[in-house]
Amino acid sequence: MGYPLWDMLDDLAIARGLQGAQADSDRGYLRGRIAAVVWIPGLAIALVVGGFNNSWMLGLAVIVLTLIVMALIAFGPRRVLRRIRRPFAALGRR
Give me the pLDDT at residue 59, please: 93
Residue 24 has pLDDT above 60, yes or no: no
Residue 65 has pLDDT above 90, yes or no: yes
Give me the pLDDT at residue 31, please: 79
Are 73 and 32 within 8 A, CB to CB? no
C-alpha to C-alpha distance for 23 and 77, rounded to whole angstroms: 19
Are 88 and 57 within 8 A, CB to CB? no
Alpha-carbon distances of 73 from 32, 39, 68, rounded to whole Å: 8, 11, 9
Please count the residues of the chain: 94
Are 17 and 26 within 8 A, CB to CB? yes
DSSP-based three-state secondary structure for 88: helix
Give me the pLDDT at residue 88, please: 75
Give me the pLDDT at residue 21, please: 54
Residue of higher predicted confidence among 76 and 5: 76
